[in-house]
Amino acid sequence: MATRYTNSQLLTTSTDDTSLKEVIENRGLKTVQHYNTANLRYPTTEEINSFVIVKHTWKSSDKFWKLSSTYYGDPKYWWVIAWFNQKPIEALVNVGDVLSIPQPIGDVLGTLG
């Protein structure tokens, strides 16, 4: 089953990295670990047609993680909703926008990896 990050994407940056040296030192750290942005393949039309797509109209109180909790039973899949709707951040979603929530989550994740 695909996940957003894999161990191969975890990068450890040391204080030898000049671009981060000042930030690392100011925070009293020796290293910083961060994740690269995952490059996810968008599903084909055939794959999308195999999903159950639930429509959700965005309200002012909505958050991706809340929708993930509601539709998937787990907030950690918020990124699936953002990715599927090509809205990487909530600021790009307006009240009244209709989002597509692909289901079941196992099938959706299976198309990624």
Same structural domain for residues 52 and 107? yes
Alpha helices per DSSP H over the chain: 21-26, 45-50, 64-72, 78-84, 105-112
Same structural domain for residues 102 and 63? yes
* pLDDT value for 24: 78
Comparing 27 with 58, the larger pLDDT belongs to 58
Same structural domain for residues 27 and 68? no
* pLDDT value for 3: 53
Same structural domain for residues 72 and 32? no
What is the count of structural domains for the chain? 2
Residue range 23-32: mean pLDDT, rounded: 79
Q: Give the pLDDT band of residue 2 (cuts 50, 70, 90).
A: low
Range(s) of the domain holding residue 21: 1-39
Residue range 13-37: mean pLDDT, rounded: 70
Residue 113, helix vs strand vs coil: coil
- Model confidence at 51: pLDDT above 80: yes
- Model confidence at 41: pLDDT above 60: yes
